[in-house]
Amino acid sequence: MPSSPSDGVISRGEREAFRSALGDVLYQQSLDCVHCGLCLTSCPTYRVTGRETASPRGRIYLMRGLAEGRLDDSSLLAEEAFACLGCRACETACPSGVHYGEMLEQARAVVRKSEKNFNIAHFIERLALRGIVPHPRRLRLLVQVLSLVQKLRLDRLAALVLPRRMAEMMDLLPEIPPGQERKRMPSFTPAIGRYRGRVALFEGCVMPEFFGRVNDAARQVLARAGYEVVVPKSQGCCGALQAHSGDLDFARELARKNVVAFEEDPGTLDAIIVTSAGCSAAMREVETWIGESGGSFGRGIRDVLEFLDEVGADLSPTSMPTRVCYDDACHLIHAQGIAAAPRRLLEAIPDLELVSHRNPEACCGAAGVYNLTHPEMSQQILEPKIDALAEAAPEVVATANPGCAMQLSSGLAARGLAIRVVHPIELIEEATRN
C-alpha cells in the first residue's frame, strides 16, 4: 500500500496543495456524486470487503473530505485510491455521470507526489513502467530472457525456490510466443478487394511482445475489409499503465509523443485502430491528460471490434463450429460503452455458438498490474469469474484486453480447465482466412 505523508496527518498547506492539484473542475465533479449508493454492488472491492471506504462513493467522499479540510489523515485515501481496480463499473451504474476514472487517476497522482518515505515496491514499479515498458528494445530483451527461462524450464525451478509472492507473479506470465509472432508488422498493408479507406494500427508496448498475433490478426482483417493499414514506427506506449499507477506526468509525455507519431502519416485516416481495451480507453481520453492538442487524436481512436461493426465490414466468414464465451473487458464495456459490437461480430460467424455466462461484465481482477500489487484481492475477485466460466463449459473464452487474457488463462489453468483464451479478432481472422 502507498506510504502516507509523514505519519499520515496532512498539514493545511498540503491539504490546500491537494485541492489545487485535484483542480477546480475535478473537485466540482466530486460534488456530482449524490451518494445514492447505486455504484456499491457494481464495485468489486466493495463486494469483497463490504466496507464503505472500499466503494466508489466512499473514495469520492475521502477525496472531497481531504480537499475541504474535513479529513486530516491522508493515509486512508492513499490506501483506498490504490486498492481500487479502476474497472469503472461504477460509471456504468452511476445516474449522475460522475467521471470516477478521471478523478481516481488525479487522486493517485497527488498521493504519489505527496509520499515522503521511500517504498521499495513503488520504486520497482516506477522503474519498470518508466525504464522498461515504454522502451521497445529493453522490453524485447527482457522478453527474450523470459523466453529462455521458459524453454529451459527454469521458471518451474524458480517456483520452488522463490518467495511465494514472486512465484505467483511468475505463474501469471503467459507462454512467451515464438520469435515469428514477435516480429514487427509491415508499415503498410494494402487493402484487399474493394477499397474502403485508410486506417492506422496502434501496436502498443506489451501487445507486440506477448500478443503480436492479435495485432497481426487485426491488420489482416482490416485489409480484408477493404482498408489500407499503416503502422507508424515512431508510435509507443500509450501511458495507461503509468497513469493507473499515479505517474500521470510521465503518461502525459507518452501521450504527446503518440499524438505527434500519428500526425506524421501524410494520408487521411478514417480511424486509429487499437486492439487492447485498456489502451483504447486511455487514448480516447487523452484530452483530459494533455488538453486540446489531444482532442482530435482521441476522437479518432476506435477499438478494432467497434470499428468493424461500425463500418458494417463484409467479411464473409466461414463455418467455425466452436462453443465460445465472450467476457467483457472492463475498459471496453465500462470505459467505452462497447458491449454489443463484439457479440455481433462473433454471432456473424457461421456455426459459432456464443454461450452466455453469469455476469460477463464483472471485473476479472487483472486491472493492469493490480494482480501483481494486490494479489490476494485480485484472486478473490477472479474466483467467481472462473466459477461462471466453468459452469458455461466453453471451448474458447474470448476477451478484448491482454491483461484480462493473462488473468483468465492463469485462473482457468489453476482449475485444470483446458479452455483456450483468445482475442475475438483472432477468431474473426481465422474465420475469414482464405
User: Residue 353: which H helix or E strand, with range?
Assistant: strand 353-355
Return the minimum-mean-pLDDT range out of 14-28, 91-105, 221-235.
14-28
- pLDDT at 166 > cutoff 50: yes
Domain that holds residue 338: 323-432
Lowest mean pLDDT among 8-22, 175-189, 284-298: 8-22
Tell the residue number behind the cell numbers 474502403, with chain if given. Answer: 196
**In a domain? residue 200:** no
Q: How many of the other CB atoms lie within 10 Å of CB of 40? A: 18
Last residue of a domain, one of 94, 114, 134: 114
Does residue 168 lie in a domain region?
A: no
d(CA 253, CA 256): 5
Q: What are the E-state strand segments in 216-326?
A: 227-230, 271-274, 301-303, 323-326
Residue 5, pLDDT score: 39
Q: Which residue has the higher pLDDT, 169 or 100?
A: 100
> How far is the CA of 433 from the CAs of 122, 316, 367, 429, 430, in angstroms?
45, 10, 32, 6, 5
- In a domain, residue 427? The reply is yes
Nearest to 171 by CA among 397, 414, 404, 387: 414
CATH code, domain with 31: 1.10.1060.10
DSSP letter, residue 179: G
Digit-coded pLDDT (tens) for 37-85: 999 999 999 999 999 999 999 999 888 887 777 776 778 888 999 999 9
Q: Is residue 157 part of a domain?
A: no
Res 7 pLDDT > 60: no
Residue 415, pLDDT score: 94
CA distances from 83 to 104, 144, 155 (A): 11, 32, 29
> 420 — alpha (psi -120 to 50), left (phi > 0) or beta?
beta
Confirm whether 277 is domain-assigned.
Answer: no
Any domain includes 170: no
* pLDDT above 50 (res 244): yes
Domain boundary among 114, 136, 154: 114
Q: Tell me, what's the pLDDT at 120?
A: 79
**DSSP 3-state assignment of 199?**
strand
Chain segment 304-340, per-residue pLDDT in tens: 999 999 999 989 999 999 999 999 999 999 999 999 9
Question: Which tens digit of pLDDT belongs to each residue from 369-404?
Answer: 888 888 899 999 999 999 999 999 999 999 999 999
Number of domains in the chain: 2
25-29, 163-167, 319-323, 346-350, range with the lowest pLDDT = 163-167
Mean pLDDT of the chain: 89
In a domain, 289, yes or no: no
Q: Is the predicted pLDDT of residue 301 greater than 70, yes or no?
A: yes
Residue 359 belongs to some domain of the structure: yes
CATH of the domain at 371: 3.40.50
Q: What is the pLDDT of residues 103-147, one digit of tens each?
A: 899 888 888 887 777 777 788 888 999 999 999 999 999 999 988
Q: Find the range with the poorest average confidence among 134-138, 247-251, 293-297.
A: 293-297
Grid cell, residue 403, equals 491483461
User: How big is the chain, counted in residues?
Assistant: 434
Please report the DSSP string for 280-305 in residue order: HHHHHTTHHHHGGGGHHHHHTEEEHH
- CA–CA dist 143, 138 (Å, integer): 9
- Which residue, of 114, 148, 163, is where some domain finishes? 114
**DSSP strand pairing (301-303 vs 420-422):** unpaired
Question: Residue 4: its pLDDT value, please?
Answer: 37
The percent of residues above 70 in pLDDT, for the chain, comes to 89
Q: For 233-260, what is the mean pLDDT? A: 94
* 334-373 residue pLDDT tens: 999 999 999 999 999 999 999 999 989 999 999 888 888 8
pLDDT of residue 2: 38
Strand partners, 353: 323
